[in-house]
Structure 1
């Protein structure tokens, strides 16, 4: 069950979707949500650094101005979040504006939450997509909670694709998804294993998928199927799953063996985050 849901609030178009998604999940599980907006002083300090001694005064004034402007925007985001959640009749607690080291603050909050919900365009006040991806990668690597990435439309999840390769990361992610069941258990689940083309690969794939199906059914998911896909590029096939033709949600381990290893770092991460048409449930 998903009892505590953390929502990262940004001044972007998909933050309202993240909020509404968190509300839907909380309502289904009788849980509660927490809104978190950031004043990233480290980023502001970097943006205002530079220049000689004569410019230090002006840099400090600019830093103070940017910090106050960001603090006001963050407070407004919290107010909007609170108003929306209360209008929907969902419990919320601990809504706050975080200041300081962004990644550390977020990881600290995730220790006492089951799930982080964030928009795909969430930049945590960063406009640089590469830095956004790097920040998300660091969060996924060390977070105690799972992360749900949503897009610009409120998701209706009826079909779930679980990318499973038998690694510890993919197993932990599948287990986390099964335990939280954020969209309930009344969904169609397809366990997808990307394998090689030999007879041994096919047999191993069948065993892996049978075990995964048994596990998910034991946790209340009754409509579970599995598919073995022959390919030499697992990350590419997972990106294809995220196009929405066969799933409304993709469940994938952030770190795993073979081609999944770079799913969150590097070009595969950028492609998955930017091109996915469905929400992504990610864990390590």
Structure 2
């Protein structure tokens, strides 16, 4: 059950949509919302270069100006969030944190059941297009599931679950089932991209999907279908299926990555977040 939802606020066009998703869920569960704005001083400091004698004071002035600008943007974001939530008559609070964005968001996730966030959010208010990799760090290091939304709202009735039997995929499926954000009366399609067209690989994929189907039906999800997709790039196959079937939400695992790319998603997750036509439900 969902009783507390945190919305990470950013000056991008996805944030009002994230707020709308959060409001609908809050009304469904009589839950409370937290609007979180982060004045990211960790990203402000590295952009200031202190050079020869006499420039240190100037550098400090730049830092103070950028911090004040970030505080003002944070205030506007919280005011906008509060206005939307009050209009919907939903319980809420406004929180401002100072520090590294992903650390502050992860800290709030410890005391919330769900994070809702826009996929284009970077959380560096002074340079909104700067890729801070905050979203990747949040999903991988957070303790609650994340609903990543795009710039359009969808009522959730049809679901696509990308399931390969891995631990990340299982964690996301279980988190969705346990939270029941949209109830159990959903049209669910379980999807697996097979490694090859060999009878052995197709059979293995079918067994994995059957196990997931059984799990869902035990939890009273009655409308479940399964499809094994042809081999190929997993992200592209999933996107093709999404564009063909047009589900309202995709559930998938935030797959682990190599030591050389600790700050980013696995390639499939990154591809789907970048290209997806709709929201994604991910769990650490």
TM-score where L is the length of structure 1: 0.90
Aligned to 1:79: 79
Structure-2 separation of matches of 1:69 and 1:29: 36
Structure-2 separation of matches of 1:168 and 1:68: 43
1:209-220 to structure 2, matched below 5 A, reads: 209-220=209-220
Is contact 2:161–2:251 with CA below 8 Å preserved after alignment?
Answer: yes
1:29-48 to structure 2, matched below 5 A, reads: 29-48=29-48
Structure-2 separation of matches of 1:67 and 1:156: 38
1:104-115 to structure 2, matched below 5 A, reads: 104-115=103-114
Which 5+ residue runs of structure 2 have no aligned equivalent? none
Aligned to 2:182: 183
Aligned to 2:156: 157
Q: 1:188 to 1:74 in 2, by over 3 A?
A: same
Displacement after TM superposition at 1:128 (Å): 4.3
Q: Deviations over 1:54-106 (max 9, x none)?
A: 2111111111111111111101211221121121011123x211101222111
Structure-1 separation of matches of 2:137 and 2:46: 19
- Give the root-mean-square deviation of aligned CA atoms: 2.1
Structure-1 separation of matches of 2:279 and 2:42: 30
Aligned to 2:142: 143
Is contact 1:243–1:275 with CA below 8 Å preserved after alignment?
Answer: no
Q: 1:54 to 1:239 in 2, by over 3 A?
A: farther
Aligned to 2:10: 10
Structure-2 separation of matches of 1:217 and 1:2: 21
Aligned length in residues: 277
Aligned to 2:21: 21
Is contact 2:119–2:135 with CA below 8 Å preserved after alignment?
Answer: no
Is contact 1:167–1:256 with CA below 8 Å preserved after alignment?
Answer: no
Structure-2 separation of matches of 1:98 and 1:53: 33
Q: 1:214 to 1:267 in 2, by over 3 A?
A: closer
Displacement after TM superposition at 1:267 (Å): 5.6
Aligned to 1:60: 60
Structure-2 separation of matches of 1:272 and 1:50: 40
1:133-282 to structure 2, matched below 5 A, reads: 134-195=133-194, 196-243=196-243, 245-255=245-255, 265=265, 268-282=268-282
Is contact 1:241–1:247 with CA below 8 Å preserved after alignment?
Answer: no
TM-score where L is the length of structure 2: 0.90
* Bigger mean CA deviation after superposition, 265-274 or 1-10: 265-274
> Which SS does the other structure have where 1:265 is aligned?
coil
